[in-house]
Every structure is written in C-alpha cells, then in structure tokens.
Amino acid sequence: MSPHGPVRVHADTALLAKAAATGLIQRVADAQAEFDVAHIVLTGGRNGNALLHELSLTPTLGAIDFDRLHVWWGDERFLPAGHADRNETQAREALLDTVPVLPELVHPMPASDGPDGDDVEAAAARYAAELAAAAPAGALVPTFTLAMFGVGPDTHVASLFPGFAATEETERTVVAVREAPKPPPTRITLTFPAIRAAHEVWLLAAGEDKADAVAAARASTDPTKTPAAGAYGTGATLWLLDRAAAAGLQEH
Ligand SMILES: O=C1O[C@H](COP(=O)(O)O)[C@@H](O)[C@H](O)[C@H]1O
C-alpha cells in the first residue's frame, strides 16, 4: 500500500459523491457522540461541490446535529462576498443554505471586500486568528474531524500549488497566495501544518484529467512539487477516486 493512505475507487463521479456523503455523515455523527462538537473543512472545486449537493439529498443527513458542527474552508478565491466563483458561495448554494447550520459556526475565509479590503495577507492572518480562537489549548487550529481537498490536475490541494512558497510554510496556518496558475490569481489557503492537524484527510479526484496528478502525487514524497502528497491526517488519510482518476495507479 502507498504511504499516502488507502484508495477507494468508485465506478463514477455520482457513486463517489454518494459514498463520500455517507462517510462524512458517519464521521461527523461519531465525532459529535465522542467529542460533542465536530469541525469539518470543506473544499471547493467540482468534487467538493458534488459532495455537498449529494449531502443535501442524503436521507441520513439528519444524523448530523448542525447546532454542534463548525464549518471551515481549506482555501478561498479572494473575491468579493457573494461572488459566484467563491468556494463559500458555491458551498452555500450546494448545501449550507438548505440545512440548519448555525451562522456563527460557519467560518468562511474573508472576502476581498471584507474588513481588510483587498489586503489578502491581512485577510489570511484574520482567518488564522479565527482558527486559533476555536483551537484547544496549545494548538493553532481546531482538531478537524475531517478535512477534504479536491486534487487539481497539477496536483494542487487547497490553494497550495506546485513550486509555490506556500507549500513550504512551516509556521503560519493560513497564508495568502498571489499569481496562482488557476484563476483567480489571489487566494487564501490553509498550509500543511494546519491540514496535518486534521484527524482525517480525504483527497477527492474524479475524471481522466486527474489520472496523471493522482498517480504522480501517490508516487511522490515531495509536497513542494506535488502538493497532494503532503496532505495527510493524524488518524487517517483516504483517497476517494472514480475509475477514470485511478487509471494511472499500479495498484488498481
Ligand atoms: O480552485 C480550486 O481547485 C481545487 C480543485 O478543483 P477541481 O474542480 O479540479 O476539483 C479545489 O480543491 C480548491 O478548493 C479550489 O479553490
């Protein structure tokens, strides 16, 4: 087995989203039973949004107590509030607007017309402070029950792009990213130290355009070149793929 954690291959994107939705509900319900409160980290992108939409249709969604669920984001496109390309906007449309989540427990990353205006470094520091305020004593971020990340075709996760300084950050939990290769160029992202504080990390990829990235990341031990290789949790790391995205793996 790869050092990057086990792979679950589903026949297609729809079945991948269904399996992920069922698993997420179970993880959150279990965490709430054990720790009272659960913290999850959402991803943007195709698979993240498909998963949230699937959750909205899943009959067992009621097993989650939304009064005790904190919702965070792994990255954000630094755009005005409500912009259609913000991960927050897409997550609200796909799920959050349709469930009884408490507004004060939903933690979007700041927008470019927020309290720091277009100062993306200040906005990143603000999000780091919000995470620290919810963290247990001695920690910089909450113990995330589950953190999910879509894998980009270039192996990026969150807004950690290959070769970018953000992939080498060892102190800060949240940083600004400028000149990202995928639009929009200005972004905010969790760093590896924040991601690796999660109990469980899921990497989501579907479609043939992800096959090379999945194979490269799972063969790599250098997260500065293949960031998906650097996303793992303290308890478990799971790669959730469809058949097309798994096509380049020897093990399948
Ligand atoms: O821009 C982003 O892209 C990645 C991957 O998205 P996908 O559509 O290729 O699955 C996503 O994980 C990230 O949150 C988002 O900001």
In-domain check, residue 159: yes
In-domain check, residue 46: yes
What is the residue-averaged pLDDT of the chain?
97
Counting runs of H as helices and runs of E as strands, what totals does the chain give? 6, 9
In-domain check, residue 248: no
In-domain check, residue 251: no
Domain that holds residue 157: 7-242
- Which pLDDT band holds residue 252 (cuts at 50, 70, 90)? low
For the chain, the domain total comes to 1
Q: Which atom of ligand 1 is nearest to the CA of 73?
A: 14
**Separation CA 232–CA 201 (nearest Å):** 6
ipTM of this predicted structure = 0.97
Residue 4: the pLDDT is 81
In-domain check, residue 220: yes
Q: Which atom of ligand 1 is nearest to the CA of 149?
A: 12
**Separation CA 175–CA 151 (nearest Å):** 19
| Residue 47 CB less than 6 A away from ligand 1 | yes
| Residue 90 CB less than 6 A away from ligand 1 | no
- Tell me which residue has its CA closest to atom 8 in ligand 1: 45
Dump pLDDT digits (tens) for 24-67.
Answer: 999 999 999 999 999 999 999 999 999 999 999 999 999 999 99
Q: Of the candidates 70, 65, 55, which has an alpha carbon nearest to the alpha carbon of residue 21?
A: 55
CATH code at 95?
Answer: 3.40.50.1360
247: tokens are: 């096509």
Dump pLDDT digits (tens) for 160-182.
Answer: 999 999 999 999 999 999 999 99
In-domain check, residue 132: yes
- Which pLDDT band holds residue 77 (cuts at 50, 70, 90)? very high
43, 52, 164, best to mutate for ligand 1 pocket (most atoms within 8 Å of CB) = 43
